[in-house]
Protein backbone atom coordinates (compact mmCIF):
# COMPACT_ATOMS: atom_id res chain seq x y z
CA UNK A 1 0.00 0.00 0.00
CA UNK A 2 1.40 3.42 -0.88
CA UNK A 3 2.01 5.93 1.87
CA UNK A 4 -0.76 8.06 0.37
CA UNK A 5 -3.21 5.15 0.57
CA UNK A 6 -2.07 4.43 4.09
CA UNK A 7 -2.64 8.02 5.17
CA UNK A 8 -6.06 8.14 3.54
CA UNK A 9 -7.02 4.93 5.30
CA UNK A 10 -5.83 6.24 8.67
CA UNK A 11 -7.63 9.57 8.36
CA UNK A 12 -10.80 7.93 7.05
CA UNK A 13 -10.81 5.60 10.05
CA UNK A 14 -10.27 8.57 12.34
CA UNK A 15 -13.25 10.39 10.89
CA UNK A 16 -15.48 7.31 11.05
CA UNK A 17 -14.54 6.73 14.70
CA UNK A 18 -15.11 10.35 15.66
CA UNK A 19 -18.62 10.30 14.17
CA UNK A 20 -19.33 6.99 15.88
CA UNK A 21 -18.16 8.36 19.22
CA UNK A 22 -20.26 11.49 18.84
CA UNK A 23 -23.32 9.34 18.08
CA UNK A 24 -22.68 7.32 21.23
CA UNK A 25 -22.88 10.44 23.40
CA UNK A 26 -25.89 11.99 21.70
CA UNK A 27 -27.99 11.49 24.87
CA UNK A 28 -25.32 12.77 27.27
CA UNK A 29 -24.66 16.31 28.36
CA UNK A 30 -21.16 17.60 28.80
CA UNK A 31 -18.28 19.12 26.90
CA UNK A 32 -15.70 17.38 24.73
CA UNK A 33 -12.02 17.05 25.55
CA UNK A 34 -9.52 16.99 22.70
CA UNK A 35 -6.03 15.82 23.65
CA UNK A 36 -3.52 16.76 20.95
CA UNK A 37 -4.32 19.85 18.89
CA UNK A 38 -1.57 19.30 16.30
CA UNK A 39 -2.70 20.95 13.09
CA UNK A 40 -6.20 21.35 14.47
CA UNK A 41 -7.72 18.93 11.97
CA UNK A 42 -9.66 16.77 14.40
CA UNK A 43 -10.47 19.76 16.64
CA UNK A 44 -12.02 21.51 13.66
CA UNK A 45 -13.92 18.37 12.70
CA UNK A 46 -15.27 17.92 16.22
CA UNK A 47 -16.27 21.58 16.26
CA UNK A 48 -18.20 21.20 13.02
CA UNK A 49 -19.96 18.00 14.06
CA UNK A 50 -20.68 18.30 17.77
CA UNK A 51 -23.69 20.61 17.62
CA UNK A 52 -22.23 23.45 19.61
CA UNK A 53 -20.80 21.48 22.52
CA UNK A 54 -17.92 23.16 24.29
CA UNK A 55 -14.55 21.65 23.35
CA UNK A 56 -11.57 21.94 25.68
CA UNK A 57 -8.24 21.30 24.03
CA UNK A 58 -5.01 20.09 25.62
CA UNK A 59 -1.72 20.71 23.86
CA UNK A 60 1.83 21.42 24.98
CA UNK A 61 2.84 23.46 21.91
CA UNK A 62 -0.17 25.00 20.17
CA UNK A 63 0.85 25.74 16.58
CA UNK A 64 -2.30 25.19 14.52
CA UNK A 65 -3.61 27.79 12.10
CA UNK A 66 -5.41 30.50 14.12
CA UNK A 67 -8.74 29.48 12.57
CA UNK A 68 -8.27 26.02 14.13
CA UNK A 69 -6.95 27.18 17.49
CA UNK A 70 -9.43 27.39 20.35
CA UNK A 71 -9.98 30.60 22.28
CA UNK A 72 -7.69 30.81 25.31
CA UNK A 73 -10.41 29.88 27.79
CA UNK A 74 -10.80 26.55 25.95
CA UNK A 75 -7.09 25.78 25.67
CA UNK A 76 -5.02 24.02 28.33
CA UNK A 77 -1.46 24.63 27.26
CA UNK A 78 1.26 22.41 28.68
CA UNK A 79 2.02 18.76 29.25
CA UNK A 80 -1.08 16.56 29.58
CA UNK A 81 0.24 15.25 32.91
CA UNK A 82 -0.02 18.77 34.33
CA UNK A 83 -2.95 20.26 32.44
CA UNK A 84 -5.31 17.34 33.04
CA UNK A 85 -4.76 17.84 36.76
CA UNK A 86 -5.37 21.57 36.42
CA UNK A 87 -8.54 20.93 34.43
CA UNK A 88 -9.92 18.84 37.29
CA UNK A 89 -10.26 22.03 39.31
CA UNK A 90 -10.91 24.47 36.43
CA UNK A 91 -13.62 22.71 34.42
CA UNK A 92 -17.15 23.58 35.49
CA UNK A 93 -18.68 20.44 33.95
CA UNK A 94 -17.35 16.96 33.50
CA UNK A 95 -16.99 15.81 29.89
CA UNK A 96 -19.10 13.35 27.90
CA UNK A 97 -16.47 12.57 25.27
CA UNK A 98 -12.69 12.60 25.06
CA UNK A 99 -10.71 12.22 21.88
CA UNK A 100 -7.03 11.43 22.37
CA UNK A 101 -4.85 11.89 19.32
CA UNK A 102 -1.51 11.87 21.06
CA UNK A 103 0.74 9.52 19.14
CA UNK A 104 4.27 10.63 18.31
CA UNK A 105 5.15 7.64 16.15
CA UNK A 106 7.53 6.34 18.82
CA UNK A 107 5.56 3.46 20.38
CA UNK A 108 7.64 3.19 23.56
CA UNK A 109 7.13 6.90 24.37
CA UNK A 110 3.46 6.76 23.44
CA UNK A 111 2.88 3.83 25.79
CA UNK A 112 4.50 5.66 28.69
CA UNK A 113 2.36 8.72 28.03
CA UNK A 114 -0.80 6.63 27.67
CA UNK A 115 0.00 4.93 30.95
CA UNK A 116 0.27 8.29 32.67
CA UNK A 117 -2.92 9.95 31.47
CA UNK A 118 -5.71 7.36 31.77
CA UNK A 119 -6.67 8.00 35.37
CA UNK A 120 -6.12 11.77 35.06
CA UNK A 121 -8.55 11.77 32.16
CA UNK A 122 -11.02 9.61 34.03
CA UNK A 123 -11.32 12.32 36.70
CA UNK A 124 -12.71 14.67 34.04
CA UNK A 125 -15.45 12.37 32.71
CA UNK A 126 -19.09 11.79 33.62
CA UNK A 127 -20.32 8.22 34.15
CA UNK A 128 -21.13 6.77 30.72
CA UNK A 129 -18.65 9.05 28.94
CA UNK A 130 -16.96 7.76 25.79
CA UNK A 131 -13.21 7.85 25.15
CA UNK A 132 -11.77 7.46 21.68
CA UNK A 133 -8.01 7.14 21.58
CA UNK A 134 -5.20 6.43 19.16
CA UNK A 135 -3.40 4.68 22.06
CA UNK A 136 -4.62 1.86 24.27
CA UNK A 137 -5.60 3.23 27.68
CA UNK A 138 -6.09 1.08 30.76
CA UNK A 139 -8.54 2.38 33.33
CA UNK A 140 -10.41 -0.02 35.56
CA UNK A 141 -13.75 1.79 35.28
CA UNK A 142 -13.66 1.78 31.48
CA UNK A 143 -14.99 -0.98 29.27
CA UNK A 144 -13.59 -1.45 25.78
CA UNK A 145 -16.37 -1.22 23.21
CA UNK A 146 -16.46 -2.40 19.63
CA UNK A 147 -15.14 -0.16 16.92
CA UNK A 148 -17.47 0.75 14.07
CA UNK A 149 -17.76 -1.74 11.22
CA UNK A 150 -14.80 -1.78 8.88
CA UNK A 151 -12.26 -0.33 11.34
CA UNK A 152 -9.44 -2.75 12.09
CA UNK A 153 -8.73 -3.66 15.67
CA UNK A 154 -5.80 -1.71 17.08
CA UNK A 155 -6.17 1.23 14.74
CA UNK A 156 -8.20 3.07 17.35
CA UNK A 157 -9.42 2.30 20.85
CA UNK A 158 -12.91 3.01 22.12
CA UNK A 159 -14.04 2.89 25.74
CA UNK A 160 -17.07 3.71 27.80
CA UNK A 161 -16.76 4.75 31.43
CA UNK A 162 -18.90 2.74 33.82
CA UNK A 163 -22.28 4.25 34.69
CA UNK A 164 -21.72 3.36 38.33
CA UNK A 165 -20.39 6.17 40.45
CA UNK A 166 -17.49 5.75 42.82
N1 LIG B 1 -5.35 15.85 16.39
C2 LIG B 1 -4.31 16.56 15.65
C3 LIG B 1 -4.80 16.91 14.29
O4 LIG B 1 -5.79 16.30 13.83
O5 LIG B 1 -4.21 17.80 13.67
C6 LIG B 1 -3.00 15.81 15.61
C7 LIG B 1 -2.38 15.61 16.97
S8 LIG B 1 -0.71 15.05 16.88
C9 LIG B 1 -0.85 13.41 16.38
C10 LIG B 1 -0.29 14.88 18.59
C11 LIG B 1 -0.23 16.16 19.36
O12 LIG B 1 -0.11 15.86 20.75
C13 LIG B 1 0.97 17.04 19.01
O14 LIG B 1 0.54 18.33 18.65
C15 LIG B 1 1.80 17.08 20.29
O16 LIG B 1 2.42 18.34 20.55
C17 LIG B 1 0.77 16.77 21.36
N18 LIG B 1 1.37 16.12 22.52
C19 LIG B 1 2.08 14.96 22.52
N20 LIG B 1 2.48 14.66 23.77
C21 LIG B 1 2.00 15.64 24.58
C22 LIG B 1 2.06 15.87 25.99
N23 LIG B 1 2.70 15.03 26.81
N24 LIG B 1 1.42 16.94 26.48
C25 LIG B 1 0.75 17.79 25.66
N26 LIG B 1 0.67 17.65 24.31
C27 LIG B 1 1.28 16.58 23.78
Instruction: Return the exposure string of 93-129: e unless at least 16 CB atoms fall within 10 Å of the residue's CB, then b.
Output: ebbbbbbbbbbeeeeeebeebbeebbebbbebbbebb
Note the pLDDT tens digit of each residue in 1-60: 999 999 999 999 999 999 999 999 999 999 999 999 999 999 999 999 999 999 999 999
- Of the residues 60, 82, 83, which should be mutated to test ligand 1's pocket, given the most ligand atoms within 8 Å of the CB? 60
* Predicted TM-score (pTM) of this structure: 0.97
> So what's the pLDDT on residue 165?
65
- Give the mean pLDDT of 112-132: 98
> So what's the pLDDT on residue 121?
98
> So what's the pLDDT on residue 114?
98
- Give the mean pLDDT of 137-141: 97
* Distance from the alpha carbon of residue 119 to the mean position of ligand 1, in angstroms: 18
* Distance from the alpha carbon of residue 127 to the mean position of ligand 1, in angstroms: 26
Nearest to 103 by CA among 158, 40, 35: 35
> So what's the pLDDT on residue 25?
98
> So what's the pLDDT on residue 164?
79
* Distance from the alpha carbon of residue 36 to the mean position of ligand 1, in angstroms: 3
Q: How many CB atoms lie within 10 A of CB 60?
A: 14
Q: Which atom of ligand 1 is nearest to the CA of 64?
A: 5
- Give the mean pLDDT of 139-159: 95
Residue nearest atom 23 of ligand 1, based on CA coordinates? 79
> So what's the pLDDT on residue 41?
97
Note the pLDDT tens digit of each residue in 57-103: 999 999 999 999 999 999 999 999 999 999 999 999 999 999 999 99
- Give the mean pLDDT of 94-116: 97
Q: How many CB atoms lie within 10 A of CB 162?
A: 15
- Give the mean pLDDT of 98-120: 97
Residue nearest atom 24 of ligand 1, based on CA coordinates? 79
Residue nearest atom 11 of ligand 1, based on CA coordinates? 36
Amino acid sequence: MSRLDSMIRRLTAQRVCIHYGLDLISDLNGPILELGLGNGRTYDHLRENSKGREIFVFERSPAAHPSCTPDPQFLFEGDFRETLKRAASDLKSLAAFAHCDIGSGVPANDQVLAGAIGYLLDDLLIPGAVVLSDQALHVEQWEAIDLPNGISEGRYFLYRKSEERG
